[in-house]
């Protein structure tokens, strides 16, 4: 029987394009919660009253959990004084300063609303600064930059059909190169280095550890050719380390974008880096009415304080390890040809067989655990939640194996 959630979702297709404004949130399988009504801690609830332990965490932004009192009260207190004004609010400079204090290489900061938009700002800065046109991408950097023919259309998903909606004049200026393919990057730079304004790199979830050699290598390569290095820390910032993989692997990019994670789900992005670059943003026309919106800034301030007080980064690593090691053990025990690979704060579900992957996810959805191809833990996943989730995963795998519905 069709659930209330699916009925509402299907009805919404008459008015809401594709049923969701976020492609990766469009439900596919009947076992998925088609309509969510609330979240609390590490759990979400669908409109049919089902409860799920959530390892999607809104596709990354929820790093502390849903309905966190400290973050809620920061937002509510600010709401009483207004949301947005015609001049800067004190929070804008205050939160910028806090970010420069927790992100070692951030000299100056500016705010926007989404990750892709802030990446576009960095690309504009790089083109203006270098007076060059070409941009090299690695991984998914947001829909605004899905410009090149071989690009990534969503995190971990390569383009499978020809590029649409981008004139060849524009896509010819963008190229996507594979993560950690040292030779290819060197070759492209040898041939086109003098024309490359910047590289935009989102780390590869599955092979994150390769960043240890690869990212400092790119740092040197870009310096040699006078191109800017722009780090997409949208997922890795406030997860791998406060300063993302740049801090973790110990190199200094020219610019970086932080977004998911810095405000526990409130919509905000920060592009930051060298002062001489960020200072050009206003003169080249980068601007947004909502850049200094104060509810998100108040959440960001509360999140930074929460991280510092509770050592959230260490907690995410520890909890992620427990969860993903636990599932990997179950995969081995039951002969599932899959492994969860990468750093425990945002690893990748690597299945050999797509059908087996779909079946695994469907059984887990049915048993009340939500996954995505990138796994996310948050500060609200406590020991009992992990234990319960692993029991549910084991039940799901058993059902896969014996073919029960
Ligand atoms: C690594 C990475 N970069 C950029 C983006 C784009 O961010 P937004 O969807 O906020 O534009 C995403 C979103 O999933 C992402 O995962």
In order of 45, 334, 343, 377, the CA distances from 37 in angstroms are 6, 35, 31, 20
Cα 51 from chain centroid (whole Å): 24
Which residue out of 24, 179, 257, 259 has the highest number of ligand 1 atoms within 8 Å of its CB and is therefore the one to mutate?
A: 259
pLDDT of residue 151: 64
The whole-number pLDDT of residue 168 equals: 84
- The SS3 assignment for 46 reads strand
User: pLDDT grade, residue 44 (50/70/90)?
Assistant: very high
What would the two tokens of residue 183 be? 């030779």
Per residue in 297-320, pLDDT (tens digit) is 999 999 999 999 999 999 999 999
The residue with tokens 């800065």 is: 125
What is the rounded average pLDDT for all residues in the chain? 95
Q: How far is the CA of 144 from the centre of ligand 1 (A)?
A: 10
Indicate the pairing of strand 228-232 with strand 338-341: unpaired
- Ligand 1: atom nearest CA of 154 is 14
Q: What are the backbone dihedrals phi and psi of residue 224, each rounded to the nearest 5 degrees, phi first?
A: -60, -40
Domains of the chain and any CATH numbers = 4-60+311-402 (3.90.1150.10), 69-310 (3.40.640.10)
Residues with CB under 6 A from ligand 1: 59, 114-116, 140-142, 155, 202, 232, 234-235, 259
pLDDT level of residue 363 (50, 70, 90 thresholds): very high
**What is the C-alpha separation between 295 and 82, in angstroms, rounded?**
8
| pLDDT reading at 285 higher than 90 | yes
Q: Is the pLDDT of residue 201 over 70?
A: yes
- What are the pLDDT digits (tens) for 126-175? 999 999 999 999 998 988 877 766 666 666 666 656 677 888 888 889 99
* Helical packing angle, 383-402 and 312-333, nearest 10°: 20
How far apart, in whole angstroms, are the C-alpha atoms of residue 203 and residue 374? Answer: 12
Distance CA 138, CA 247 (A): 19
pLDDT score at 171: 87
In this prediction, residue 179 has a pLDDT band, given cuts at 50, 70 and 90, of very high
With CA atoms as reference, report the closest residue to 203 among 252, 153, 237: 237
Alpha-carbon gap, residue 113 to 116, rounded angstroms: 9
Ligand 1 atom closest to Cα of residue 113: 10
Mean pLDDT on 213-220: 98
**What is the per-residue pLDDT for 324?**
98
Q: What percent of the chain has pLDDT over 90?
A: 90
More confident: 264 or 150: 264
Given a cut of 60, whether residue 187 has pLDDT beyond it is yes
Using an 8 Å Cβ cutoff, are 155 and 374 in contact? yes
**pLDDT for position 257:** 98
Query: Residue with structure tokens 């966190």?
Result: 68
Closest atom, ligand 1, to C-alpha of 203? 1
Helix (H/G/I), strand (E/B), else coil: 54: strand
Nearest Cα residue to atom 12 of ligand 1? 142
Q: Is the pLDDT of residue 237 over 70?
A: yes
**Best residue among 57, 200, 235 to mutate for probing ligand 1, ranked by most atoms within 8 Å of CB:** 235
With contact defined as beta carbons under 8 Å apart, do 381 and 323 qualify?
yes
Helix (H, G, I), strand (E, B) or coil at 249: helix
């Amino acid at each position: 029987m069709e659930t209330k959630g699916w009925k509402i979702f299907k009805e919404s297709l008459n008015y809401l394009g594709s049923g969701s404004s976020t492609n990766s949130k469009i439900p596919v399988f009947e076992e998925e919660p088609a309509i969510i009504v609330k979240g609390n801690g590490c759990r979400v609830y669908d409109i049919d009253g089902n409860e799920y332990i959530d390892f999607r965490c809104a596709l990354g932004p929820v790093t502390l959990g849903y309905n966190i009192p400290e973050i809620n009260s920061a937002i509510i207190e600010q709401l009483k004084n207004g949301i947005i004004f015609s001049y800067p609010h004190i929070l804008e400079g205050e939160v910028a300063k806090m970010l420069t204090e927790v992100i070692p290489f951030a000299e100056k900061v500016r705010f926007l609303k989404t990750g892709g938009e802030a990446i576009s700002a960095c690309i504009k800065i790089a083109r203006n600064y270098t007076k060059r046109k070409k941009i090299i991408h690695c991984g998914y950097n947001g829909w605004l930059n899905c410009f090149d023919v071989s690009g990534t259309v969503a995190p971990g998903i390569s383009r499978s059909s020809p590029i649409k909606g981008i004139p060849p004049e524009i896509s010819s200026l963008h190229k996507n190169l594979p993560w950690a393919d040292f030779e290819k990057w060197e070759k492209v730079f040898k041939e086109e280095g003098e024309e490359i304004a910047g590289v935009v790199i989102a780390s590869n979830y599955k092979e994150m550890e390769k960043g240890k050699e690869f990212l400092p290598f790119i740092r040197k390569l870009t310096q040699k050719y006078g191109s800017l290095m722009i780090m997409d820390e949208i997922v890795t910032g406030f997860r791998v380390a406060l300063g993302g993989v740049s801090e973790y692997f110990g190199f200094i990019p020219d610019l970086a974008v932080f977004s998911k994670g810095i405000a526990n789900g409130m919509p905000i992005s920060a592009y930051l880096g060298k002062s001489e670059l960020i200072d050009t943003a206003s003169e080249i026309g980068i601007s947004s009415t909502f850049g200094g919106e104060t509810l998100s800034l108040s959440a960001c301030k509360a999140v930074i304080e929460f991280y510092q007080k509770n050592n959230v980064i260490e907690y995410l690593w520890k909890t992620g390890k427990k969860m993903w090691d636990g599932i990997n053990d179950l995969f081995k025990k039951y002969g599932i040809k899959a492994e969860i690979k990468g750093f425990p704060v945002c690893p990748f579900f690597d299945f050999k067989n797509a059908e087996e992957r779909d079946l695994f996810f469907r059984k887990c959805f049915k048993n009340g655990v939500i996954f995505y191809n990138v796994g996310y833990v948050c500060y609200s996943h406590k020991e009992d939640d992990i234990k319960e989730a692993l029991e549910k995963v084991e039940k799901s795998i058993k059902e896969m194996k014996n073919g029960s519905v």
